Amino acid sequence: MRSDNAIGPSRTGVRVVKKPSYVVDQSRLQRFDVRNTVFERITWDSSWKGHKQMYDERLLDTVAEGKCGYSRVDVALTCASWIVHDAFEGGFSWKKIEIQRTPRGSLGIDWTKTTCEVNDTRKMSVCVKRAARLFGASLIGICKLNRDWLYTGIEIPDEFQNVIVMAIEMDLDGIGTSPTALAAAATGVGYSKMAFTLASMGEFIRNLGYEAIQCGNDTALSVPIAIDAGLGELGRNGLLITPQYGPRVRLCKIFTNLPLQLDKPIEFGVKGSCKKCKLCAKHCEAHAISVEDDPSFTVICQSNNPGALKWYVDAEKCYLYWCENGTDCSTCIKVCPYNIASGRKTDLSSKEFWGT
């Protein structure tokens, strides 16, 4: 019988540990104010260069220039990739989703009115992970909710003790074209898949008679929660590094009062590898990733949350490069050595992507 998060043959040395691999200074650590993300600061922070700048403002000019990877066809794919994420509000609902048509498979029964008794949390966790895989999750882990990771101003009722964390793999070939619009399409598809997976999992839990709060990038910090749930470790690029896909995943999570067996954190040498590798920093056109040998507690910009020992990423420089590029960038994901599939090329042109 295969494990819940099967690891490919090229990934060895993964071990379960008692505590998460990150290091925090509780005297500095504080809940992060979501208003300090660069995407929020666009709207209110007139003190920095990215204020009122939308990163797709140059996209029409870029398409007109005829740059490879930024054609009308490429951009059409990018826009289409986000449609489920952007149009389907139910993906991030905290309550049962209102259905406009007669639901299929319900037999007219409101399953939320009764509670399915959980006598074996291990078996229920197996069922939850199987359901998540069916609904599109590539990796699934379960952890206790650490409320330090909630954004400021977010209050989750005490009965929500557990978090189901899911990673959605992004298309290897699409990411391989970064920083083109095709890589942005791979990202958008990841978010749209996230919305479908979250909505389906949330309804599954509610149909068992329990509650579910579905989250993407909102509500809480995803990376440390994913580390707590045993999905991977923190990388130099500020992203979760998984044994199976490296950083080539999008993360989402569900807070729930469903009784579940918890997973444990893992280690597989990411910190040591990142200390030597530095490929993400060398290839970052924004020069936003630290080249220092060792991580530190020193923050780089207002969009960093203090208190963690890590290589802090300059989110301001990263976003301003997006504005210059006309779309988002995934180069730090593309070049990561953990993002390697056996026999697959990880640096593609748009012609190679389309097969033309």
pLDDT by residue for the chain (356 residues), tens digit each? 344 564 433 456 899 999 999 999 999 999 999 999 999 999 999 999 999 999 888 888 888 888 899 998 888 999 899 899 988 878 888 888 777 666 665 566 787 888 889 999 999 999 999 999 999 999 999 999 999 999 999 999 999 999 999 999 999 999 999 999 999 999 999 999 999 999 999 999 999 999 999 999 999 999 999 999 999 999 999 999 999 999 999 999 999 999 999 999 999 999 999 999 999 999 999 999 999 999 999 999 999 999 999 999 999 999 999 999 999 999 999 999 999 765 577 889 999 999 98
d(CA 149, CA 168): 21
For the record, the structure tokens of 173 come out as 């070939």
Terminal Cα distance for the chain, rounded: 41
Q: What is the pTM of this model?
A: 0.91
Q: Where are the domains of the chain?
A: 16-94+114-347
Q: Is 308 helix (H, G, I), strand (E, B) or coil?
A: strand
185 Cβ contact list (under 8 Å, min separation 6): 74, 77, 78, 80, 81, 174
- Residue 219: closest CA among 264, 254, 193: 254
